[in-house]
Amino acid sequence: MAETGQAIISALWTRITTDATMKSVFDTTVDLYRVMAPQDPAFPYMVHDLQLSSDLFHSTNTYKLDVWTYGPTPLVADAAVNRLKQLLHCWRFSITEAGGLVEWFSGGYIQSDHPQVWHYATQWDVRMTATTDITSIVGG
């Protein structure tokens, strides 16, 4: 299951970090860290984590993705979240042993200790199926 989880994270990471629109929102490079950002990262950046259920193929897995920006307004964070919704909501993907569907679940701003730090947390459902049933998720 660890290899499948890594493949899912890799597919999500690639989709987000290689998108030209997301690159323009983040001013060229999309910094996306796994689980935790390094100390004092440059803004803007994102942090993500995939929480797999004990039965990967018969339940919903949770993908958490947080956007962190700095500035007088939340415009960059809003643009990033809007683009994430376009990139990920109802996105169907396949990896070697499985297929998946990503759907928006929830999101919102989290209050920061600094008035110019904008933290928007998102949560996504990731439903998986084994390759034998892949057409039900990724299409025929």
User: Residue 129 corresponds to which tokens in the numbers above?
Assistant: 């199926």
Pick the closest to residue 36 from 51, 26, 48, 52 (CA basis).
48
Note the pLDDT of residue 19: 97
pLDDT one digit per residue (tens) for the chain, 140 residues: 668 889 999 999 999 999 999 999 999 899 999 999 999 999 999 999 999 988 877 778 999 999 999 999 999 999 999 999 999 999 999 887 788 899 999 999 999 999 999 999 999 999 988 765 545 554 54
C-alpha distances out from residue 24 to 27, 28, 43, 48, 52, Å: 5, 6, 14, 20, 31
Task: Please name the residue that has the structure tokens 């990471």.
Answer: 13
User: Any idea where the domains of the chain sit in the sequence?
Assistant: 2-138
Cβ pair 44, 80 in contact under 8 A:
yes
Domain 2-138: assigned CATH number: 3.30.2000.20
Peptide bond just before 41 cis, omega within 30 deg: no
Task: Please name the residue that has the structure tokens 């997301």.
Answer: 22
Q: Alpha-carbon distance 64 to 78, whole Å?
A: 17
